[in-house]
């Protein structure tokens, strides 16, 4: 009798589980290749002009996303938050666009030619500067030299042969943290670095961060050594050849900056699916809907980057909305948030994480999708896969939820880029990082780089919709796990 009763209970429990499974599988089945394709063919078409942040193409994409969310019956946060920047489905934020700048570096002896002798990194600099003396420094030496507010000289040729853009960037970031006024970096030859100097491009930064900045960003100049020497007096030129750290050299240079800045506006799109008994807790799903716009007359459609993540969000939102409309909505609330400004430096997600429409203390996790529609060279002929990055950095529960979810999908979870010492540093390079930096457990879903990455050939024809559907399915199942679990993922792993 007891045995019969027990097995009845077990059968019922098993039936309950099977029913829950069949429910989630029913809603997962609304994520189809046809729907993903239909949305992507629109968003990654030329008429969206490459969706560049703060440009008409980005706003057109924002409107398209909002209309889809309205059609599926999702709510806006506009009337549910006290945040004044949230209006309907948009969270608007101001950006400072620093326009094509020019700088000339000159003195009585001559002038450095931009591009040829001089590269520079556009920073927000209010006025032109006079530099009387440069102090030689070695960033790799803890020599106690005070850099603050001073004009420093660095020798990049001592940083090893074949200086890579990454190493240059790392070294310059290190140098900036010592708060000099200017940094002049001498190099024999620019080589491949010429591409990474922003002097010719416009640059966007978050207005609230610019206004909070206490001191101006150091102005960074990369200067060809021979051209620099030609501006020096014969005596100073001799001195330059033997200059040691902490020693100064007279230069008497005028840095004349001519650049126009203006304020522009962008927006994240926020679709809210209110939960049930645990509705105060929210799961945030992100993907960036911006791309890099039109360059030299060519539209960069960004079908994979990150059209795929964007359309995945639409399909996941629709699946949750269908579940909710049929009485099976998630226990926790789900915020579906296509963000902008990613290509300009993760700006939209950074803005959100500093101005959350729902308090971060109630935010249980972030699932972020950035490029999930192609295969990379490491998986050319391999089984379906996706790279999982960050899942175990803050929470073992989150990692486990994603692995459990994959039981319903069965693709290979590749953790290659999750290694803390991965040289690509992908963990820091997409929007989830702005949640992780605030201590929110996050996963970055990614299918790797390919030859069309940030190229005009990143088009819909090259998307593997079967893989895009499988990967979207995984994110949906993980979201379902997290939104319905009895407890939120514990913060039980090390900080990032």
Structure-token pair, residue 262: 């203006």
d(CA 121, CA 385): 38
We find the least distance from the C-beta atom of residue 321 to Zn ion, in angstroms, to be 26
Between 117 and 305, name the residue whose CB sits nearer to Zn ion. Answer: 305
d(CA 30, CA 316): 9
Q: Which stretch binds Zn ion (CB under 5 A): 100-108, 243-251, 304-312, 358-366?
A: 304-312
Of 49, 281, 290, 306, the one binding Zn ion (CB under 5 A) is: 306
Of 52, 151, 290, 305, the one binding Zn ion (CB under 5 A) is: 305
We find the least distance from the C-beta atom of residue 447 to Zn ion, in angstroms, to be 11
Between 180 and 302, name the residue whose CB sits nearer to Zn ion. Answer: 302
We find the least distance from the C-beta atom of residue 300 to Zn ion, in angstroms, to be 12
We find the least distance from the C-beta atom of residue 287 to Zn ion, in angstroms, to be 8
**Footprint of Zn ion on 364-393 (CB under 5 A):** 370
- Residues in the interface with Zn ion (CB under 5 A) total 3
**Footprint of Zn ion on 197-226 (CB under 5 A):** none
Between 305 and 414, name the residue whose CB sits nearer to Zn ion. Answer: 305
Between 49 and 305, name the residue whose CB sits nearer to Zn ion. Answer: 305
Q: Which stretch binds Zn ion (CB under 5 A): 71-79, 182-190, 306-314, 451-459?
A: 306-314
We find the least distance from the C-beta atom of residue 302 to Zn ion, in angstroms, to be 8
We find the least distance from the C-beta atom of residue 432 to Zn ion, in angstroms, to be 11
CA-angle at 311, arms to 309 and 317, nearest 5° = 100
Q: Which stretch binds Zn ion (CB under 5 A): 47-55, 211-219, 298-306, 464-472?
A: 298-306
Closest CA to 437 of 402, 394, 487, 493: 394
d(CA 292, CA 453): 11
Between 184 and 310, name the residue whose CB sits nearer to Zn ion. Answer: 310
We find the least distance from the C-beta atom of residue 269 to Zn ion, in angstroms, to be 16
**Footprint of Zn ion on 127-186 (CB under 5 A):** none
We find the least distance from the C-beta atom of residue 351 to Zn ion, in angstroms, to be 17
We find the least distance from the C-beta atom of residue 309 to Zn ion, in angstroms, to be 7
Between 306 and 458, name the residue whose CB sits nearer to Zn ion. Answer: 306
d(CA 366, CA 336): 10
Between 306 and 459, name the residue whose CB sits nearer to Zn ion. Answer: 306
Between 305 and 481, name the residue whose CB sits nearer to Zn ion. Answer: 305
**Footprint of Zn ion on 386-425 (CB under 5 A):** none
Between 203 and 344, name the residue whose CB sits nearer to Zn ion. Answer: 344
Closest CA to 95 of 211, 5, 254: 211
Residues at the interface with Zn ion (CB under 5 A): 305-306, 370
């Amino acid at each position: 009798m007891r045995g019969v009763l027990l097995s009845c209970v077990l059968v019922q429990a098993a039936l309950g589980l099977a029913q829950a499974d069949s429910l989630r599988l029913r809603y997962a089945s609304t994520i189809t290749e046809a729907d993903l394709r239909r949305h992507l063919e629109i968003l990654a078409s030329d008429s969206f002009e490459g969706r560049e942040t703060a440009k008409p193409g980005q706003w057109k994409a924002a409107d398209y996303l909002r209309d889809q969310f309205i059609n599926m019956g999702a709510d806006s946060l506009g009337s549910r938050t006290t945040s004044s920047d949230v209006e309907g489905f948009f969270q608007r934020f101001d950006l400072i666009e620093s326009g094509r700048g020019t700088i000339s570096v000159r003195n009585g002896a001559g002038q450095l030619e931009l591009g040829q002798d001089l590269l520079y990194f556009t920073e927000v600099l209010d006025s032109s500067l006079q530099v009387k003396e440069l102090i030689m420094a070695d960033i790799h030496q803890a020599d106690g030299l005070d850099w603050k507010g001073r004009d420093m000289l660095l020798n990049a040729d001592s940083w090893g042969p074949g200086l890579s853009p990454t190493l240059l960037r790392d070294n310059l970031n290190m140098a900036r943290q010592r708060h000099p006024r200017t940094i002049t970096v001498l190099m024999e030859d620019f080589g491949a670095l010429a591409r990474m100097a922003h002097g010719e491009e416009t640059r966007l930064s978050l207005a609230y961060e610019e206004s909070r900045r206490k001191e101006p960003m150091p102005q960074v100049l990369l200067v060809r050594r021979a051209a620099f020497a030609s501006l020096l007096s014969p005596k100073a030129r001799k001195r330059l050849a033997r200059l040691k750290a902490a020693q100064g050299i007279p230069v008497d240079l005028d840095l004349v900056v001519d650049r126009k800045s203006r304020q522009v506006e962008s927006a994240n799109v926020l679709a809210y699916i209110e939960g049930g008994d645990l509705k105060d807790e929210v799961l945030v799903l992100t993907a960036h809907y911006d791309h890099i716009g039109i360059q030299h007359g060519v539209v960069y459609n960004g079908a994979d980057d990150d059209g795929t993540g964007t359309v995945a969000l639409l399909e996941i939102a629709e699946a949750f909305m269908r579940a909710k409309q049929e009485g099976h909505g998630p226990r926790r609330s789900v915020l579906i948030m296509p963000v902008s400004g990613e290509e300009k430096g993760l700006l939209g997600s950074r803005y959100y994480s500093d101005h959350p429409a729902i308090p971060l203390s109630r935010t249980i996790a972030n699932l972020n999708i950035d490029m999930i529609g192609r295969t990379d060279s490491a998986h050319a002929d391999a089984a379906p896969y996706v790279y999982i990055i960050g899942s175990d950095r803050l929470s073992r529960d989150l990692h486990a939820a994603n692995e459990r979810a994959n039981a319903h999908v069965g693709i290979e979870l590749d953790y290659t880029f999750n290694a803390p010492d991965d040289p690509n540093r992908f963990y820091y390079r997409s929007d989830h990082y702005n949640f992780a930096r605030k201590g929110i457990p996050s996963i970055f879903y990614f299918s790797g780089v390919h030859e069309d990455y940030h190229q005009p050939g990143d088009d819909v024809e090259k998307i593997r919709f079967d893989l895009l559907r499988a990967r979207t399915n995984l994110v949906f199942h993980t979201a379902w796990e997290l939104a319905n679990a009895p407890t939120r993922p514990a913060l039980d792993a090390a900080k990032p």
